[in-house]
Amino acid sequence: MGLPRVGILADDRLQQHLLKSALVHFGFDVVVNADPQRMDLLNFDQLELDAWLIDLQDEDEEHFHWLDRLLDSDTPVLMGFARAPHKNCPTFPKWEKRLYSKLREMVHATPVVAEDVAVLDKLTTSFDAGKLSLPAIFQDKNFSGQVAAQVWVLGASLGGPGAVKSFLDALPGGLPVAFIYAQHIDPRFEQTLATTIGRHADYEMRRFSEGDALRCGEILVAPIENEFSFVEGRLHDHHTGWPGPYGPSIDQVILNVHSCYGERAGYILFSGMGNDGAEAIVGLPDEQLKIWAQLPQSCANSSMPESAIETGRVRYSGDPQQLALQLVNHIKNTWVDNNESISD
């Protein structure tokens, strides 16, 4: 099945650009993106659209003849949707997500934002050749089983499993850190995801278990259907679905992790379709914020990291191996700084 085909009619060039950018980010095929003055040049019968998106500042009567024609057709029409804020505005990610949800309700062909299980069958290669060395300061220590003081969220969607596997395969075992892996994928394949991604990693993939604490050397696979948070540092199941159009909601995972770990948490957004994660990071306090993103050029789908980068809150971007190296150095430097301050 092809991408949902959408036509945009807007009499403002900036709105044309913002609307198209948002829809492409979410996996729509924008077939028409034009000023209404060009309507007479379009051949309606050949467009075969799944929906029209219309944004008019000037409600001139000369538009009514073609507007009546659109409204009388079988193609759904979305009008009167809130105008797009500027891309640097904190409300832009929320506006994008509302637009996606509205169009998703209207079209028959739903955009694909979650990873297909078929990709997991191809992820069999180990990246041992690129395995990083454990810093010397950790080589005589054993953090295994200790409650993690530092937690990193790995958020991903389309193209994410390959990128996250490359990242994890490059990490040396023995770091004092735990991970939460939030991946958009069909709930039926949650266990397959954990098995495949963890096959060559030096970290243990684990499923959600009520009341557990996150421990060093572990990767919690965020449950796809039920939201979770933390109560006194331990996992808590809300027994309700995630907010938003897909699960797990990376935005909500980020907010729930930050409420528990604060400055002791970090966030990396990998390859994916859509903007999940961007809305949350613009709402977090800027002090000591650790938000990284996969370099868009290295992504199978760059929309998710690009949306994060556009917020201006991403502090570092690189390919999966570069992100792994950056994390190793960050954990080493954090450990040295904390222990020097204690010894002083």
> Structural domain boundaries of the chain?
5-106, 117-343
Q: Which of 218, 254, 211 is nearest to 233 (CA)?
A: 211
Query: For residues 84 and 57, what is the distance between their CA atoms, to the nearest angstrom?
Result: 12
Q: Is 114 left (phi over 0), alpha (psi -120 to 50) or beta?
A: beta
Whole-number pLDDT of residue 126: 60
Query: For residues 66 and 78, what is the distance between their CA atoms, to the nearest angstrom?
Result: 15
Encoding tokens for residue 206? 């684990």
Kind and range of the H or E element at 113?
A: none
How far CA 46 is from CA of 31, 32, 111, in Å, comes to: 11, 12, 22
Q: Which of 205, 23, 193 is nearest to 116 (CA)?
A: 193
Whole-number pLDDT of residue 344: 42
CATH 3.40.50 fits 5-106, yes or no: yes
The residue from 50, 184, 251, 271 that is catalytic is 184
33 contacts 73 by C-beta, under 8 angstroms: no
Whole-number pLDDT of residue 275: 92
Q: Is 286 a catalytic residue?
A: no
Query: For residues 207 and 301, what is the distance between their CA atoms, to the nearest angstrom?
Result: 26
Q: Is 157 a catalytic residue?
A: yes
Whole-number pLDDT of residue 288: 72
What are the residue ranges in the chain where pLDDT is below 70? 1, 40-41, 44-45, 58-64, 109-114, 116-118, 124-129, 287, 340-344
Q: Is 184 a catalytic residue?
A: yes
All residues at 6 or more sequence positions from 154 whose CB lies less than 8 Å from its CB, including other chains: 164, 167, 179, 180, 181, 182, 268, 270
Q: For 322-339, give one letter per residue: b (16+ CB within 10 A) or e.
A: bbbbbbbebbbebbeeee
Give me the long-range contacts of 227-232 (CB less than 8 A, separation at least 24).
Answer: 227/252, 227/256, 228/256, 229/256, 229/259, 229/260, 230/256, 230/257, 230/259, 230/260
Whole-number pLDDT of residue 342: 46
User: Hunting for tokens 């807007």 — which residue is that?
Assistant: 10
Domain 117-343 class, CATH top level: alpha beta
pTM of the model: 0.86
The residue from 276, 298, 303, 317 that is catalytic is 276
User: Hunting for tokens 């735990």 — which residue is that?
Assistant: 178
The residue from 25, 157, 169, 302 that is catalytic is 157
Query: For residues 139 and 288, what is the distance between their CA atoms, to the nearest angstrom?
Result: 27
Same fold, 5-106 and 117-343: yes
